[in-house]
Amino acid sequence: MRFALSFFFLAKVCLADVASYISMEGPIAKAGVLANIGTKGAKPGIVIASPSTIDPDYLYTWTRDSSLVFKLLIDQYTRRIDTTLLNQITDFITAEGILQGVSNPSGSVGEPKFNVDETAFTGPWGRPQRDGPALRATAMMTFANYLISSGNISYPANTIWPMVKIDLDYVSANWNNTGFDLWEEVDGSSFFTIAVQHRALREGATFATLQGDNTRAATYNTQAANLLCFLQGFWSSSSSALIANINVNNGRGGLDANTILGSIHTFDPAAGPDAITFQPGSDKALLNHYTTVNSFRGSLYTINSHIAAGQAVNIGRYKEDVYYNGNPWYLATFAAAEQLYLAIYQWEQAGQINVTSTSLPFFTQLVSSTTVQNYPSNTPGYRTLISAVFSYADGFLELAKEYTPSSGRLSEQYLKSNGTQTSAVDLTWSYASALTAFFARNGTILGNAWGAKGLTTPCGPGATVSITFLETATTMSGESIYITGSIDALQNWSTSTALPLSSTKYPVWSITLDVPASTTFQYKYIRIRNGVVTWESDPNRSLTSPASGTYTERDTWR
């Protein structure tokens, strides 16, 4: 009894702690965001990443940071939480329209950062970064949809749609090419980037239809389906997690706050806790949260080393990070909390928590008696889980509170040794990430529905992937190279209908074929001259097609 009472007392103190942190830090964070727009030489509507000019120099504008920040401000404006933001929002749109037209080293809207006077930054950098155009389109469409619903048709049609088109045409045409991740370090395919691109194209298809552009709507829809399929490939059941970067070999384990950020920034309040889009409350996103958070436990950060399993820890970008020696980041710790508040919203909407074998480890770390079953919302078991997850989420905010100085100012990072702030001061994105987490905790849902509801995987039976076969073969005049193999797409070993390769890059012969996804098949090249067929030597070649995306196979005649 005494234990129960004091536990209750403790729990109440913690709740009050977090609430008082929010009421203290919320206004500071909001002021911190606004202070970084159009200041320090920046043109109106330009978001500076941070006023820091040395160690590190962040007095630039990044499309990613700016768009995430303005998505928050646009959500506040369109929900009438703050009706004073209209001028900042239109300044932002004007400024981004200028940046879209500035010629830059990427040669595209994939250029990640610009000088604050709206000229190109021409120094070396990890470019392009293909998340920025998608995030910007999402922010602008959110505003446009609001205007349209309140009767303003012309600004969305004449100003916003032309800009959104530029960003989404770029995403639609380039998502399948590698680019740098949100941390500007890894050139590959990145979960965060692919997730926000998928979202933007889904909303974009609806928006294009609204603007009477059915051709673009169709293109965006087709590419969104391809993106959704590709997105599935980031899930690794053997790692119990989403792998942050694929199509790279960077020597990292792949656990990264990238994936938690991807989940919260593609939250759709109209969807359920669906795993296909890794919604915050889905079993896969929860297991990913569990595994990713665990990667920051133990001795990695001294300030985490005393924290027991099942309790919140300070979160960084990824455990192998060496930038400023690798520390916790406010925006990552806030994101870990935010995913869980959004998950709770999704369970409340669904009226249940469906604990699967996938999400079980996430729940048993908090409530050890949890089993694989459906917990309907009118049961004590459901209430126990909800309050455990809520307290766990609050734990991340308590850590942020502990390492927020009394001024309330938030830098980019805080030292792993003792929590002292380091790297860029007054990071705009840190403030924005605090605010979105606070809104989520208070049950104020900022996100808008973007079309996640009811999506089913396009990667099932019937899905195909595109494989390019390159065969190096020297040939006699009049002789050509063909391919044939064990599946329909390869003519079932026929030589008379074998598929001809092109010799435009002779001696490399090539052909690109659509073959069923995730399928193992055999094939061989043959050469045909005057109707005479010569087979490659045995054994047959074997290949397993990927689940999604494209693949290039390089062979040499044998």
Helix (H, G, I), strand (E, B) or coil at 327: coil
Contacts of 352 (CB under 8 A, 6+ apart): 374, 375, 376, 377, 382
Least gap, CB of 187 to ligand NOJ (angstroms): 12
Tokens matching residue 175: 């998502």
Q: Which is nearer to ligand NOJ, 191 or 469 (CB)?
A: 191
Q: Are strands 532-535 and 520-529 parallel, antiparallel or unpaired?
A: antiparallel
How far apart CA 131 and CA 67 sit, in angstroms, is 10
Least gap, CB of 184 to ligand NOJ (angstroms): 4
Q: Which is nearer to ligand NOJ, 73 or 229 (CB)?
A: 73
Interface ranges with ligand NOJ (CB under 6 A): 49, 58, 62, 64-65, 182-185, 323, 429
CA 133 to each of CA 113, 163, 514: distance values in angstroms, whole numbers, following the listed order: 12, 10, 29
Q: Which is nearer to ligand NOJ, 58 or 220 (CB)?
A: 58
Judge if the upstream peptide bond of residue 128 is cis by omega within 30 degrees of 0: yes
The set of catalytic residues is 181, 184
Q: Which is nearer to ligand NOJ, 116 or 286 (CB)?
A: 116
Short-list 440, 434, 442, 401, CA closest to 13: 401
Question: Are 413 and 427 a contacting pair, CB within 8 Å?
Answer: no
CA 232 to each of CA 104, 250, 276, 284, 395: distance values in angstroms, whole numbers, following the listed order: 33, 21, 7, 11, 30
Least gap, CB of 323 to ligand NOJ (angstroms): 4
The answer to whether 125 is annotated as binding is yes
Q: Which is nearer to ligand NOJ, 327 or 548 (CB)?
A: 327
Short-list 134, 53, 140, CA closest to 95: 140
Judge if the upstream peptide bond of residue 405 is cis by omega within 30 degrees of 0: no
Q: Which is nearer to ligand NOJ, 64 or 199 (CB)?
A: 64
The answer to whether the Cα torsion of 493, 496, 501, 507 is positive or negative is: positive
Instruction: State which amino acid sits at residue 485.
Output: G
Least gap, CB of 156 to ligand NOJ (angstroms): 28
How far apart CA 442 and CA 90 sit, in angstroms, is 28
Per-position b or e across 463-488, b if 16+ CB within 10 A of its CB: bebebebbbebebeeeebbbbbbbbe
Least gap, CB of 426 to ligand NOJ (angstroms): 11
In three state form, how does the secondary structure of 101-141 look? Answer: CCCCCCCCCCCCEECCCCCECCCCCCCCCCCHHHHHHHHHH
Least gap, CB of 138 to ligand NOJ (angstroms): 16
Please enumerate, by residue number, every residue annotated as part of a binding site for substrate. 125
Please enumerate, by residue number, every residue annotated as part of a binding site. 125
